[in-house]
Amino acid sequence: MINNSEDIQKQTDQRICFSGETEYPVHVTYVDLNRSYMNRIGWNWHPEIEVFLVEEGSAIIYYDDSQISLEVGQGVIINQNVMHSILSVSPSQSCKLFSYAFHPSFLFGYGDTLFTSKYVTPLLHHAGLRALHLHSSDEGLAHILSLSYRIVQLNKDQEWGYELATKACICELWCELLRKFPFTPEKTRHTAVLTSDELRTREIMKYIEIHYAERITLDDLAAQVHISKSECCRCVKRCLHMTPVEYLMKYRIYMAAYLIQKNDPAVSSISDLAFQVGFNNASYFNKVFRQYLQCTPGEFRKKIRQNPDFQPFHTDFYSENLS
């Protein structure tokens, strides 16, 4: 577990340490899922490897068409560019996580070097390493867990040389993964590839996040990926466990709550707010807002004014890398 974690538990989805520069492409995050939108980290993907560690409560991580249940003291490794989402098991039970993410280049630098092709690429493309459940009942996995908690602690304390110590831990962790997922040169050619469902779903998500304030129909979404409406629904449902329309509604309500939170002058009235996020009927907007956040937009605005420190919404709805 993390020492003295209470001093950062006032934060919600705030980075302890992050640098987008290539010199130190590592960041560590503390997350209280019960203060996050709908008690979850929504569907996202990114070029970094990410590790989640459960500090308190229980969580479920969804990826592909699978899921992993996580208890206190357990964790999960998510491979590069794997779509995933994490949900608190119970909205009434506290669920707190630490995560750290690092770009593969942190191991041996950029470029197709001997070290990269021999030790990094095979794991990044290993079809069996989409997500790995970390628990103490397996000696190798327990070692990875121990290293992971050490990495979080190093980046929290940021004592002199923590970057070098972090790299040493990550290299040791990577060696343990290579032991658990042995390969031969022949096997490295059989790389994991994105399914057509996942590619289509990503395009639909991107389209929604750009055009959510406009009128969007199921025909529009299906046309973006050149499939029928029924196949569009099935495709997104298989990947996100929700329909395209449900994703659209959740994204619109999230953005509405974010605009209220930042006190955007363009949305002084509820009708203005509804229009800004793609609703043309204020009454229906109120109904959907209450459905997802258990309060009306007016009640949410009042809560923000009464408690300025309550800031659960951010611009990075799902924090995905859309490039």
Taking only the tens place, the pLDDT of each residue in 129-185 is 999 999 999 999 999 999 999 999 999 999 999 999 999 999 999 999 999 988 655
Enter the tokens of residue 260: 């209220």
| Residue that wins the pLDDT comparison between 12 and 218 | 218
Find the DSSP H helices in the chain. 105-108, 114-115, 121-124, 139-157, 162-180, 196-211, 218-224, 229-240, 244-261, 270-276, 282-293, 297-306
Query: Which domains, from first to last, does the chain contain?
Result: 5-189 (2.60.120.280), 196-306 (1.10.10.60)
User: Is the whole model's pTM more than 0.85, yes or no?
Assistant: no
Confidence of residue 190 (pLDDT cuts 50, 70, 90): very low
Q: Using an 8 Å Cβ cutoff, are 37 and 313 in contact? A: yes
Rg (CA), the chain: 21
Distance CA 102, CA 170 (A): 9
